[in-house]
Structure 1
Amino acid sequence: MRPSQTTSAVLAVSLVLSTLAATPSWAWGPHGHRIATRVAEARLNPGARRAVSELLLKGDTLVDVSTWADQDGHDAVPGSAPWHYVNVPITANRYEDRYCSKGNCVVAKIKHFRAVLADRSAPLRERRRALLFLIHFVEDVHQPLHVGDNHDRGGNLTQIQFLGNGTNLHRLWDSGLINEIDRNERVWVERIESQLTKENIRAWSRGSVEDWANESLQDAKSAYLFPAGARRPMESGKLLGKDYENFARPILERRLAQAGVRLANELNHIFE
């Protein structure tokens, strides 16, 4: 059955409005970053906890600064926007360095700021900034649409409707799904804790930054090719509902848990 002209017109208008209203989506929304950082903070060893406290400004916590790169980082470091992601075509098998233009992508920047933070001879200001970026970027690379791309800026140009509200696919994965499922960060952390088994932590603690990007790429392919078995990636105009939320929820839980565990591993190793 074809939609009525009225229905088609309403959908067209709502998609245009969502496009006009949309601002660039850089990363997990604030809740996503804070959730992953809460998981990481609980896993810091005493040495890392002390070192982090010494680097942060008085009164700040790791959770507080997890969104700095989105809120202040773009102004503090002009041109840093590309550092939050890497556009790997969903038709690719894996991440390759050729997708990281001149080293300005999330994979390369994680390695860079890891090295700066570990350099005890680097100026305090540089190490403090490295900490803020490293926290954020380890979490960003775990957001599937910060890696997978369908020639649409990681879903930013794919306008969709989720539960009747206009948005884009990237923003949906950044914050829309998380906020719809539950806005309570502590509830999310409690839910994620069930995944922190010895077996999972052991498996997640192996591998490289490139491996983390490859995991996101595979999840991005699923995010675009919905429902499972779809032959063509999602295009603008798609109507998504609870079935998409149910599909995405376990992916979000796993990626946030992995981001938290791996961020803690990074900091524990650097401040060993």
Structure 2
Amino acid sequence: MKILKTAIICVIVAINISINDASAWGQTGHRVTGEIAEKYLTVEAKAAIQNILENQGLAEISTYADEMRSNPEYFWQEVAGPFHYVTVPLGKTYSDVGAPEEGDSVTAIKRFSKILKDSESSKADKQLALKMLVHIIGDLHQPLHAGNGTDRGGNDRKLKFFWEESNLHRVWDSGLIDRRQLSYTEWTVFLAAKITPEKLKAWQTTDPLVYIAESAKIRDKIYPESDDLSWQYLYKHAPTVKQRLSQAGVRIAAHLNDIFSD
């Protein structure tokens, strides 16, 4: 009986991973967004976050939501999956379609922000909420996490990236970033130096509908004509990757500054 139960859990995990094969930005990208966000936190936000996390930084927790995908607990297998993305069909806006019954990134941001603002929330709940919120805001800045509803956010678009089998989603999660062979701290130094006061002011919004509209617009321009991608595709889209990572970091900070402003 115990063996059968274990087998069933493994099948459920495998199915869930197959359906939700979308871990935006990969490990490096998410850590970049968290490290950039640290630079723009208010004193109040820094103190509140330190009290919740106990010697962990935003870069460290930014990948938690992906690392827990194989956890067999109910929350990770039956609840958290849809929180990583939204669906916006071509020609529609998020306001046109709204969230599905199981929720999405927008409902998750509201859910976890509420937990962090509630003085009655337990420390454990706040830790989870903070880890999820940092990750989800980062997710929404990866263009294919505002999927068109036809190909699982580009996961079904099979192709080769620098002569290796891949798919479009994976290229945007990690391929374009990892090709530079930079650490997340190197990425952060290079990107943060270029965030001018003007860009900071323009990007500081806590409205996820803005991030979604931006991602959907970019998404519709990144589907390649060829299935063999290499230097030309990298050259064309590297500036967009850099901007989306930078914007995500600024906006993670903006959300947390707002939440902990009291």
TM-score (norm 2): 0.85
Q: Which residue of 1 aligns with 2:216?
A: 217
- Can you list the C-alpha shifts for 1:181-222, whole angstroms capped at 9, x where unaligned? 233222211221243111111111136111110000011111
Q: Is 1:85 the equivalent of 2:74? A: no
Q: Is 1:142 the equivalent of 2:141? A: yes
Q: Which residue of 2 aligns with 1:250?
A: 239
- Can you list the C-alpha shifts for 1:100-143, whole angstroms capped at 9, x where unaligned? 21151112211221111111122222111111110100100100
The answer (yes or no) to whether the contact 2:20–2:81 under 8 Å persists in 1 is no
Per the TM alignment, residue 22 of structure 1 is displaced from its structure 2 partner at its CA by 11
SS of match in other structure, 1:117: helix
Q: Following the alignment from structure 2 to structure 1, what is the Cα–Cα distance between the partners of residues 131 and 151?
A: 28
The answer (yes or no) to whether the contact 1:116–1:127 under 8 Å persists in 2 is yes
The answer (yes or no) to whether the contact 2:88–2:97 under 8 Å persists in 1 is no
The answer (yes or no) to whether the contact 2:45–2:257 under 8 Å persists in 1 is yes
Percent identity over paired residues? 34
Runs of 4+ in 1 over 6 A off after TM superposition: none
Q: Which residue of 2 aligns with 1:114?
A: 113
Note the 1:29-40 alignment, pairs <5 A: 29-40=26-37
Q: Following the alignment from structure 2 to structure 1, what is the Cα–Cα distance between the partners of residues 194 and 55?
A: 31
Note the 1:147-162 alignment, pairs <5 A: 147-149=146-148, 151-162=150-161
Q: Is 1:197 the equivalent of 2:196? A: yes
Q: Give the letter for the 2:85 counterpart.
A: Y
SS of match in other structure, 1:223: coil
Q: Residue 227 of structure 2: which of 238, 241, 249 is its match?
A: 238
Q: Following the alignment from structure 2 to structure 1, what is the Cα–Cα distance between the partners of residues 19 and 52?
A: 35
Q: Which residue of 1 aligns with 2:4?
A: none
Per the TM alignment, residue 64 of structure 1 is displaced from its structure 2 partner at its CA by 1.1
Q: Give the letter for the 1:264 counterpart.
A: A
Q: Which residue of 2 aligns with 1:46?
A: 43
Q: Is 1:67 the equivalent of 2:63? A: yes
The answer (yes or no) to whether the contact 2:99–2:107 under 8 Å persists in 1 is yes
The answer (yes or no) to whether the contact 1:195–1:257 under 8 Å persists in 2 is no
Q: Is 1:131 the equivalent of 2:127? A: no
Q: Following the alignment from structure 2 to structure 1, what is the Cα–Cα distance between the partners of residues 122 and 65?
A: 19
Q: Following the alignment from structure 2 to structure 1, what is the Cα–Cα distance between the partners of residues 190 and 87?
A: 30
Choose 239-248 or 71-80, whichever is displaced more: 71-80
Per the TM alignment, residue 27 of structure 1 is displaced from its structure 2 partner at its CA by 2.1
Per the TM alignment, residue 172 of structure 1 is displaced from its structure 2 partner at its CA by 0.7
TM-score (norm 1): 0.82
The answer (yes or no) to whether the contact 1:84–1:140 under 8 Å persists in 2 is yes
SS of match in other structure, 1:217: helix
Q: Which residue of 1 aligns with 2:21?
A: 24
Choose 176-185 or 252-261, whichever is displaced more: 176-185
Flag structure 1 segments of 5+ consecutive residues without an equivalent: 1-20, 227-233
SS of match in other structure, 2:179: helix
- Can you list the C-alpha shifts for 1:72-95, whole angstroms capped at 9, x where unaligned? 156252221111001222x22422
Q: Following the alignment from structure 2 to structure 1, what is the Cα–Cα distance between the partners of residues 206 and 160?
A: 36
Per the TM alignment, residue 23 of structure 1 is displaced from its structure 2 partner at its CA by 8.7
Q: CA RMSD in A?
A: 2.1
Q: Following the alignment from structure 2 to structure 1, what is the Cα–Cα distance between the partners of residues 123 and 115?
A: 10
The answer (yes or no) to whether the contact 1:195–1:254 under 8 Å persists in 2 is no
Q: Following the alignment from structure 1 to structure 2, what is the Cα–Cα distance between the partners of residues 54 and 269?
A: 17
The answer (yes or no) to whether the contact 2:206–2:255 under 8 Å persists in 1 is no
The answer (yes or no) to whether the contact 2:36–2:188 under 8 Å persists in 1 is yes
Q: Following the alignment from structure 2 to structure 1, what is the Cα–Cα distance between the partners of residues 86 and 19?
A: 20
